[in-house]
Every structure is written in structure tokens, then in C-alpha cells.
Amino acid sequence: MIVGKQKPIAEIKEIISPYKKVLVLGCGTCVKTCFAGGEDEVATLSSALRLSCKKEGKDIYIEELTVERQCEDEFIREAAIAISKNSAVLSLACGAGVQAIARRFGDVPVLPGVNTTFIGVLEKQGLFTEECLGCGDCKLAAFGGICPVTRCAKKLQNGPCGGSQNGICEVNPDTECAWQQIITRLGNLGQLDNLKKYNPPKDWRPSHAGGPRKLVREDHFI
């Protein structure tokens, strides 16, 4: 899922300050799961904004709405009436959701309320970890399902740098060495021979290095 964190309320207040009527628009998918922009966060943030603005004598109307996904037209449509009644939208979706709303409603300012951070997993309650950089050419099969592109600080493709101590990355002492994990995992899978195979330099052309990407599925065209 896409993991993000709600912006500090002071920054949000600054962003919405030019507007008198603001729709706080949540997204019920990824950002809900990481407690950044689902229905509950919309309600909490809206109350906090109302209270704070009232205390400061600022005249602002805040409306709340959450749609299931802000990155899909089918769900975006559900927000059309609420958007038309407000002078700006504060989107609590990821950056893709914010842009999808802005694209559909060209004459309404759409403002980000969340800092989109990474593609990751919920490792345990309250802990999200980055697992994929969306490189466009997945090689997890060679690495026992552990991604050195994302999880090795040096993105090494052919074994460890030799700097790890007790399984901890030499670059970041808060992080386990990805290559230590890869070797352990390949051992558990009986696939240590993978380590004898040379992995050629990574082709970054399918990655974001080539600019924004598109995925075309003509079989789904209508």
C-alpha cells in the first residue's frame, strides 16, 4: 500500500488560509490503513481546524467527506457535489489522489494534507516499512523475495558491501542489512546458489528515472 503521514496542523492551516469554505476529503483505502486520511482522520482534523480557527477568530466553514478511493473516477464522482459547494479541497489522499481530484475539477484548488512517503507494508501495529521503489523491473525472484533496490542503502545487486555489523546496515544503524536478510532467506529456501549468479547492472529505464510512466492494458480498453 501507499504509506503517508498527515501534515502538521500548522502547515495545513497555512495552506487553507486563503479559503473560507474547505472540503476535507478523505480516502478510504491506503491512507486509511496508515491512519493518515480515512474517515476518522477527516473527522479529527476537521474538528481540530474548526476549533483552532474559532479560537483565532477566523471565519471558516469546513465540510467533511470520505470516498473509497480518490485515484479512481468511479469514486471521485461521489465527491462532485461537495466539491462544487466549497472554495477549496484539502485532500487527505496520497499524491496520486490529490492530482486525480485536481485533474477532474480544474477550477477548484486541491491542496495536499498528507505527505506521501513510500510503498510499504504494515509490519506490526503502528509500524510501516518501505518495501518497493516501483522500479518497473522486479527481480525479487533472485533475492529470495527481499528487495535490495529498496532495502539496501547502496542498492547493491551482487552481495553485501562488507560493512554490516551483527546484521545491521553500516549506513543506518536502525536498519537490518538487507543482504544479511537475503542470504539468510536464500539459505532457508535452499537457494544459496542464486548468490553465484551475476546480476547485471540494473536497467533503470523502466523506473521513474525515465520520467512519469504509463501502464497500458489494451485488453481492458472500452
- Report how many residues bind ligand SF4 under the rule CB under 6 A: 24
- Verify binding: residue 139, ligand SF4, rule CB under 6 A: yes
Sheet strands (E) in the chain: 2-6, 21-27, 61-67, 88-91, 110-112, 114-124, 127-132
Q: Which is closer to ligand SF4, CB of 87 or CB of 184?
A: 184
Q: Which is nearer to ligand SF4, 71 or 135 (CB)?
A: 135
- What sign results for the dihedral spanned by CA atoms 78, 115, 8, 151? positive
Stretch that binds ligand SF4, among 89-97, 106-114, 173-181, 209-217 (CB under 6 A): 173-181
CA atoms within 13 A on the CB side of 43: 5
C-alpha cell at 26: 478523505
Determine if 179 is a binding residue for ligand SF4 (CB under 6 A).
Answer: yes
Q: Which of 46, 86, 91, 150 is close enough to bind ligand SF4 by CB under 6 A? A: 150
Residue 71 is a binding residue for ligand SF4 (CB under 6 A): no
Q: Given the C-alpha cell 553485501, which residue does it identify?
A: 160
Q: Say how many C-beta atoms besides its own lie within 10 A of residue 40's C-beta.
A: 12
Q: Is 210 in the site for ligand SF4 (CB under 6 A)?
A: no
Segment interacting with ligand SF4, rule: CB under 6 A, options 40-48, 77-85, 101-109, 150-158:
150-158
